[in-house]
Amino acid sequence: MSLSVLRAPLRRAFFSATPRAPVRTTFRKFSTPPTTPKSSNTLLYTSLGAAVAIGAGLYVYNSSSATAKEAATTIKSVTQVVKSKTKFTPTKEDYQKVYNRIADLLDENGEYDDGSYGPVLVRLAWHSSGTYDKNDNTGGSNYATMRFDPEALHAANNGLNIARTIMEKVKKEFDWISYGDLWTLAGVVAIQEMQGPKIPWRAGRIDGFAKDATPDGRLPDATQGSDHLRNIFYRMGFNDQEIVALSGAHALGRCHTDRSGFEGPWTFSPTTFTNDYFKLLFDEKWVWKKWNGPKQLEDKKTKSLMMLPTDYVLTQDKSFKKFAKAYADNQEVFFQDFSKAFSKLLELGVPQSQFVSTEPWELKTTDEQQRK
């Protein structure tokens, strides 16, 4: 079969395992710039004036050492509340429009990685939620604190400036959406559009302040073992089965030497959500890669795939192995469990009272909408 007859994503999947030179990424200190509120509504402007006054008041009252950026965010958050009270209450259909816009952006740059921003958006959704600590109820997706330094600059978040920059385009068009809702929704869009399971999701996160940002060290360290994985994920409120299910997201994307230091994709189809990650873990022989980089494994046969120490541990730890094997044997079971665990992840740190609906929504894929 000629490769040219394959659909673009399939072509990419076919070529994806080819080792590639690390993509050079320009790093910059990323913090989301404050946006100027725009509205044609006079009432809204009056309210905005009040909001700015309240915001400024809050700023002075709250923290004498806060930055100007924080003040702008305070004002913006108040603005959001005012807007929703006076003018615009987004419906599920409005969020479907945001979904569709994000879906449009996924493949807009064929030169990027394997041709899709999907994987890096899944990582953004995960890193913005996975900071949650159930012991003191801090972190999680509510306040989108990765907008602020130093959280934006934590080594674990290297490369996510790319994902946040793409999301800025959407934010400009749908300025009423909070960053927490936008980033978690992007994860949902990416999974669903890359042929994964439906991810129940609902809106309600609000933008927070720099003071809500989490300390470094809350996200997992790929060089560690099962104790570390349990420490990190139990802290978020997950169990062994959920740890394994969530790790299955490594079916997507790749490691980059200029972001994490690791290199390469986990599967041959890094832009399609499958249970291949688990299948490959058991079906391939994994050996330590001989190189100057951090300790990682490579498949003995093609040397084009990789596993992190924390991936490999899923086949070594008895409890993890049971679930990993079940997911390797049955993609449907993996999809069901992943959907539940990912949906739960995206809601960490968000008070129930903030959600706009009691039940999460299922947003439609672009394929489903076209079939109609």
- Tell me which residue has its CB nearest to ligand HEM: 253
Q: For residue 297, give the 3-state DSSP assignment.
A: strand
Residue 161 in contact with ligand HEM, rule: CB under 6 A: no
Residue 173's alpha-carbon distances to 142, 146, 176, in angstroms, are: 21, 21, 9
The residues with which 286 forms a beta bridge, in sequence order, are: 299
DSSP 258-295: TTTS--EESSS-TTS--SHHHHHHHHS-EEE--SSSS-
Q: Is 122 in the site for ligand HEM (CB under 6 A)?
A: yes
Structure token digits, residue 316: 């070594």
Active site residue 201: no
Please identify which of the residues 126, 183, 201, 266 carries the catalytic annotation.
266
Contact between 159 and ligand HEM (CB under 6 A)?
yes
CB of 354 to ligand HEM, least distance (A): 22
Cα Rg of the chain, angstroms: 21
The question of whether 127 is a catalytic residue gets the answer yes
Please give the residues from 235 up to 264 whose contact with ligand HEM meets the rule CB under 6 A: 246-247, 249-250, 252-256, 259-260, 262
Q: Of these, 140, 196, 197, 220, which contacts ligand HEM (CB under 6 A)?
A: 220
Give the active site residue among 127, 154, 250, 256.
Answer: 127
Is residue 147 a contact point for ligand HEM (CB under 6 A)? Answer: no
At closest approach, how far in Å is the CB of 368 from ligand HEM?
23
Site string for ligand HEM, 318-347 (x = CB under 6 A): ------------------------x-----
Return d(Cα 47, Cα 57) in angstroms, integer.
15
DSSP H helix total and E strand total for the chain: 14, 5
Nearest to 196 by CA among 82, 50, 331: 331
Active-site residue list: 127, 266
Residues at the interface with ligand HEM (CB under 6 A): 119-120, 122-123, 126, 159, 220, 222, 229, 246-247, 249-250, 252-256, 259-260, 262, 308, 310, 342
